[in-house]
Amino acid sequence: MRWVIHGEEEAWSNPWLSVRRLDVEQPDGRRFDYHAVRLKDIAAAVVTRDGCVLLMWRHRFLTDTWAWEVPMGIIEPDETPQAAAARELEEETGWRADGLTELIRSEPAAGITDSRHFVFRTTSVRYAGPPTELGPVW
């Protein structure tokens, strides 16, 4: 059974996301306001070499936590997910992929946001220069 969206309006937005109020109807006929985030799609690059994975140790101020992360970021307009993953890899680590293969795509928070996540993998990278954002840790 499917939910029906009767209407949608923007509550707030910026260039990266939009908070929306939706008028939805459940299959049982109940109708109510539902809030969702329309977020741009994300691309990530997983680099494996010699039994290691390229990761970045990053602090996220919103949750005040530190974690190991793979390079990732928002897919720009008119950019393919693969091109975005390659760009983010080089910007955040200084490493350039010699080719990327799609590993998985997912919608990790499909109940609240419509963002798709595209994850690519490579085993072949070469150093292109210092990162313009954050450096890598092997």
How far, in whole angstroms, is CA 35 from its chain's centroid? 20
Q: pTM of the entire structure?
A: 0.85
Percent of residues, the chain, with pLDDT higher than 70: 96
| Mean pLDDT to the nearest integer, 23-39 | 96
Pairing of strands 65-69, 56-60: antiparallel
Question: If you average pLDDT over residues 52-73, what whole number do you get?
Answer: 94
The answer to whether residues 120 and 103 touch, using CB atoms and an 8 Å cutoff, is yes
A 10 A CB-CB count for 132 gives: 10
The yes/no answer on whether domain 41-127 falls in CATH 3.90.550.10 is no
Phi/psi-derived region of residue 99, left when phi > 0, alpha when psi is between -120 and 50, beta in every other case: left
Query: Residue 133 and residue 58: Cα distance in Å, rounded?
Result: 11
What ranges do the domains of the chain cover?
4-38, 41-127
